[in-house]
Amino acid sequence: MQIKSRPFGDYMTNCYIVEIEEKELIVDPGIGAAEWVLDNVKNPVAILNTHGHFDHVWSNAELKEKLAIPIIIHKEDAFFLETDQYNMGMPKSRADILVEGDKEIVAGGILFKFIHFPGHTPGCCVIEIDNAWFSGDFIFKGSIGRVDFPYSDPEAMKRSLEKFKKIPFDKPVYPGHGEPTTIKNEQKYVDYWLRAI
């Protein structure tokens, strides 16, 4: 597995291209990410959204049009793609595959898993690809996703953190903003965040 990443937009949102067996998964193509993605993929098979906030999905529409590949997101966040929630001129897109709960999916012969961690948004997920987690805005290095946005839910975030705390293995974590970390490293801070929310 090879991972390419680059931050885009005012919020420096990480877009990832994950290559496995000469095929690519595109994770969270944000504002202005399309050109970089198109320059760096040869055989893309799917666009994966960790959640529906505009800075993670802005380039969905352009990439889907040019690459003719499916958009996959948790069903609880699909509405974000179809409505410009913050009136910023976001190009609208439509999901092709809706995930429910924790679910393994195969696209283009590549197996990956959506793990549902609601709180930041109703459908916020970590996407597990091979030996890596792409955590969107659920977990960052030394921090967690905000729960004061419209459609955020602090109580759901607490339940998600309890679920995260019980993950029995370690993997590298590639967040939606900032530097990579690991599951075990961020589990050390869960009790702090549970008290802080």
pLDDT of residue 153: 98
d(CA 171, CA 181): 9
Identify which of 139, 157, 177 has the alpha carbon closest to the alpha carbon of residue 5: 177
**What is the number of structural domains in the chain?**
1
Identify which of 156, 15, 47 has the alpha carbon closest to the alpha carbon of residue 112: 47
pLDDT of residue 87: 85
Structural domain harbouring 56: 2-196
Starting at the edge strand found earlier in the chain, the sheet holding 71-74 runs: 2-8, 13-20, 23-27, 44-48, 71-74, 97-99
Digitized pLDDT (tens) for each residue of the chain, 197 residues in all = 999 999 999 999 999 999 999 999 999 999 999 999 999 999 999 999 999 999 999 999 999 999 999 999 999 999 999 998 888 899 999 999 999 999 999 999 999 999 999 999 999 999 999 999 999 999 999 999 999 999 999 999 999 999 999 999 999 999 999 999 999 999 999 999 999 99
| CATH number of the domain encompassing residue 174 | 3.60.15.10
pLDDT of residue 188: 97
